[in-house]
Amino acid sequence: MMQASQLDDLQLAEFMDRAQRVSRDMVPFGKTVLFDFGDLGRVFVNASVSPVTFEHAARFEQRADCRVKTKISTLKKLVDGSLDPMMAVFSGRLKISGEMDAALELAKRLKAANA
């Protein structure tokens, strides 16, 4: 049986693979987003360059227009539409700081690409 940390690692690797695949076709929108997954590390999305880049690092300190703190399982539910973003915020499962429009635009583009 897989432990929770192994499942989280697997989900993060799957997210990164899918995000990097769809990022090649994603049109930049001039913003950066930092996903903070706690112990799993951070993912920095640079949507101000072409192609859009997703970079994973245990510690990533580059400044971003928007910071999203959540669990990878929550992010997956948000992208596939099984969790309402407002419910995630109100329940504390999703914390957004900075320019919220950057996170919303990225989510819209990931969802459109079926990432």
Share of the chain above pLDDT 90, in %: 42
Q: pTM of the predicted model, to two decimals?
A: 0.85
Predicted local distance difference test score (pLDDT) of residue 7: 65
Domains belonging to the chain, first-starting first, are: 4-112 (3.30.1050.10)
**pLDDT > 60? residue 52:** yes
Rounded to whole angstroms, how far apart are CA atoms 114 and 94?
20
